Structure 1
């Protein structure tokens, strides 16, 4: 099947038995006169118009990140959308289904919109791509935007082009203010059950206190959090293994969150969980809310970064603690610190970061 999403196979022509989209059809299907609908008995009606390899790839796909009842609800519509445009795209069948399925589920089940062609309206695509409750990288957002807009062009042909903000170098989240952080601490400590208080406290302390992203939070075990009289240090594994000292403001909250957690247990989530999908956002959405701002891990991490920059933390040390690879990534946070957003400070931070590397 080949490479990851966004890396097309280059075929000289159709290849028998290949499920890759470039081998599906010579040209895309046409939008039915009835428009893009969810019509079908458990699967999209357009699937049957594709070659057998292509239709088989779409029929076999089962979403692992969407609840079964919700997936059954949107499956025919998603299949119709992918079948409509996939032959003109250079992406793997399974990856196309992943993106379309998650987008349609978000529009229909999270935002409550009807399942009609306007699901793929460019305004909704723009809202989806600009979400700040996910930890997508810029390249991921660009890939998702490209494919979803391709569907939009076919499914909603009468809509003109829509202006999108550039993604390269654009900060998609803003740090919390001190007042907002106080409200978020009240959110974490004020949950109605002990498991929710522990989970909310851990998410806030690890995000705003150590700059961890959702994937790193959910893969952290109690034994990775080292507590002594000098403070707390978190040992982060994964793609950017590192040691991160927790900011003093959040030490008490993290201590309380892990006080009754076994050494080999997960810091966030039940001890028996096995899922590798993002559990942090669903957990946050199930917590009790008041008038506090929405708890968003990316904003917590942005707050951690700006806190260190404002305090004068050495750029090289901050790069290592944040798991960053490009010094320019630090500079995107300076827009939120007007006193440091100057050529002089930018040069200093870049020099420190490059020297630290």
Structure 2
């Protein structure tokens, strides 16, 4: 059922939700969270489609916030709220409210959203396109226990990762990080099968892909070895290689669907590693609402290198960035030396990234 409300208020929208539930015969509310989607008109359809599909796993109230401040002073001075209320088949397994805020009201979206949140339920805020510089301090971001951004949608994905690291607060996450979950799981499982010292590593993927950068930084942080970032034609991440004294552990995915895992002393095997839809990524993030400490450690591990790399890209020096990276470090028994090796590995992990001005592809 769908109800259109023009020049309305939050209280009327709540009344519309109750009316719609009664009309379809489901007066009880069985939703587990509120998902606030902050988007524009052009991206609203795809974002709502992904959110509705994710709600089949996590029944939720979806609130889409579309701001229309207007261009002329007259438009900006006016304030009007239009809404669409959808319950039943049109809203997945939960409820969907689309809010279009006109004029001055667009600057105070949190005052409209707050009365529509489910009582005593977690709140997740998602920016499908360019997120705020500091999601935790954004007026809408303050309402959420989890805040989801996507560096792949930024004009400069590498700079976006640096910004995420610089402004990180517990509860922040990014879909560029979510995209590498299968890669991290597969590589960790491979190391469980083959106990051997890792001497170095490399990650291959598209030049403007933030997920490739994060995978390289994660390996450098967790293994404490130098990691080389290589550029390929994609799609997304195309391979990861771990060098051991017995031979290389290779995970290659040239087509974005099926990967081949090669390990010393074992036959090669094919594993499913397809590139996932946005709805699957959102569903994964909704499974856990506690802070992601591994994501925090990874983005903060790479912040110094990402800033240094951005400066290197702006320099006219033709020497490749990979050669400007810090020298490869060696692992030692001392904890301090291992820390130094990890930092040195980060220096190489992003060396293959290209400059700004081009959108990234999902992993």
Do they superpose with TM above 0.5?
A: no
TM-score of the pair, normalised by structure 2:
0.32
More helix by share: 1
Bigger RCO (CA 8 Å, 6+ sep): 2
TM-score (norm 1): 0.32
Q: Between Structure 1 and Structure 2, which shows a larger proportion of strand residues?
A: 2
